[in-house]
Amino acid sequence: MSHDDTPAVVAPGATIGVLGGGQLGRMTVIAAARLGYRCHIFCQSPDEPAAQIAAQVTVAPFTDTEALDRFAAGIDVATLEFENIPLESVEYLTARTAVRPGAPALAVAQDRIKEKDFINRAGIATAPYRAVANPRELISAVADLGTPSILKTARLGYDGKGQIRIETDTDPEAAWAQCGASDATGGAVLEGFVDFEREISVIAARGRDGAITSYVPVENRHANHILDETIVPAPVSDTVAAAATDIAHTLIAELQMIGVLAVEMFVSPDGTVLVNEVAPRPHNSGHWTIDACAVSQFELLVRAVCNLPLASTERDADATMKNLIGDAADNWPAYLADPAARLHLYGKTETRAGRKMGHVTWLTPRMRS
């Protein structure tokens, strides 16, 4: 049974439930409050970034069905701020309230093998890949795809975690162990090498009525497998931008999602666009929309899940967004002193290497359409 069979508007004044308490949830809470909504966060500790500012907080394991019952009873619609929520929990919640996006989209995005299979079935290209269940299968997959290649856990990996580069002299047993692949992670996937010019992403949204909109493609530059900078707009041709946008629209429609979908892509030197992965939620590469657009990706999520008009995704300016990773956030006084900088800190009390503590955005006059 699903409670998402009606297109009824969830009007301002209602309570939006958010599964997850990280910075994406925090920025969703802020956007929702702007439109008059309250948010109820379901998370694992009371000091998570979103929990610090939400109207209500439930602190419990995602598998706690009694907590999920109480959560469902106190909200009008639910969404999620990251994809590593147990699928069974989302399915359980879906029988009690509307969850947008729902379990089918989450099932695809949680598993890199299912994700790539789905993308290819939609007629969209990815890097060549092979599902791998053990070191023996890894040997066979490397023979098929060659080196260098990238071994990734099928599930639970992010920001470079759960992946290792495979070279001609790599020991398959050691690589498997270092990758951390297991039955719990759904095994692993080996991805063939892609000669790409740059990485880009498109963030699209789809409403309950099937309407789709998206932001301009942006370029993403990484450091240590973590997004470092996003350049808006991506310096690509109109043809590449149109192809990337079409891919994002196709995938969010094929997933029948209600919400926001981020699609990360590689652009080859010849202009070919390949999908790397998708995320059924707001995305780090869309943080610039808070400062450069009338409607941010977080407000767009709120609008989609509440069945409001999606509104314009046009930007008022070009932008550069930089993540503040680890102790880089200690430079906050300098950013506050920079009249061109828009500083966002996430309220995380513990600084760790590789942890996203905040971001800063600089706006410049819009130069391209």
Number of structural domains, the chain?
3
133: domain range? 128-192
Closest listed residue to residue 101, CA positions, set 119, 126, 84, 81: 81
Write down the pLDDT at residue 162: 76
Residues 237 and 220 in one domain: yes
Q: How far apart are CA 344 and CA 352, in angstroms?
A: 17
Residues 89 and 135 in one domain: no
DSSP string, 143-184: HHH-SSEEEEESSS--TTTTEEEE-TT--HHHHHHHHT--GG
Q: How far apart are CA 11 and CA 308, in angstroms?
A: 8
Q: Between the CA of residue 96 and those of 69, 84, 93, 107, 112, what are the distances in Å?
A: 8, 20, 5, 19, 28
Our measurement of the distance from residue 231's CA atom to the centroid of its chain's CA atoms, rounded to an integer in Å, reads 17
Q: How far apart are CA 183 and CA 29, in angstroms?
A: 35
From 18-22, 176-180, 220-224, the region with the lowest mean pLDDT: 176-180
Write down the pLDDT at residue 183: 72
Radius of gyration of the chain from its Cα atoms, rounded to whole angstroms = 20
Residue 7: pLDDT band with limits 50, 70, 90: low
Other C-beta atoms within 10 Å of 349: how many? Answer: 7
Q: How far apart are CA 88 and CA 30, in angstroms?
A: 28
Q: Between the CA of residue 131 and those of 51, 144, 155, 166, what are the distances in Å?
A: 38, 12, 12, 15
Q: Is residue 209 domain-resident?
A: yes
Write down the pLDDT at residue 5: 55
Residues 226 and 327 in one domain: yes
Q: Is residue 114 domain-resident?
A: no
Q: Is residue 341 domain-resident?
A: yes
Residues 233 and 247 in one domain: yes
pLDDT digits (tens, 9 = 90+) for 113-122: 999 999 999 9
Write down the pLDDT at residue 155: 86
From 67-71, 277-281, 350-354, the region with the lowest mean pLDDT: 350-354
**What average pLDDT does this structure show over 283-305?**
98
Report the CATH number that the domain containing residue 64 is assigned in CATH.
3.40.50.20
56: pLDDT strictly greater than 70 = yes
- Specify which residues 191 forms β-bridges with: 129, 150
**What average pLDDT does this structure show over 92-105?**
96
pLDDT digits (tens, 9 = 90+) for 221-240: 999 889 999 999 999 999 99
Residues 230 and 150 in one domain: no
178: pLDDT strictly greater than 90 = no
Amino acid at 158: Y
pLDDT digits (tens, 9 = 90+) for 133-150: 998 999 999 999 999 999
Q: Is residue 123 domain-resident?
A: no
Using DSSP's 3-state secondary structure scheme, residue 132 falls into: strand
Write down the pLDDT at residue 180: 81
Domain end point (choices 192, 218, 237): 192
Q: Is residue 115 domain-resident?
A: no
**What average pLDDT does this structure show over 198-209?**
97
Write down the pLDDT at residue 1: 45
Q: How far apart are CA 243 and CA 305, in angstroms?
A: 27
275: pLDDT strictly greater than 90 = yes
Average pLDDT of the residues of the chain: 94
Residues 229 and 179 in one domain: no
Write the CB contacts of 104 (distance below 8 Å, at least 6 apart in sequence): 255, 256
Residue 299: pLDDT band with limits 50, 70, 90: very high
Q: Is residue 109 domain-resident?
A: no
- Report the percentage of the chain scoring pLDDT > 70: 96
Other C-beta atoms within 10 Å of 225: how many? Answer: 12
CB 293 within 8 A of CB 282: no
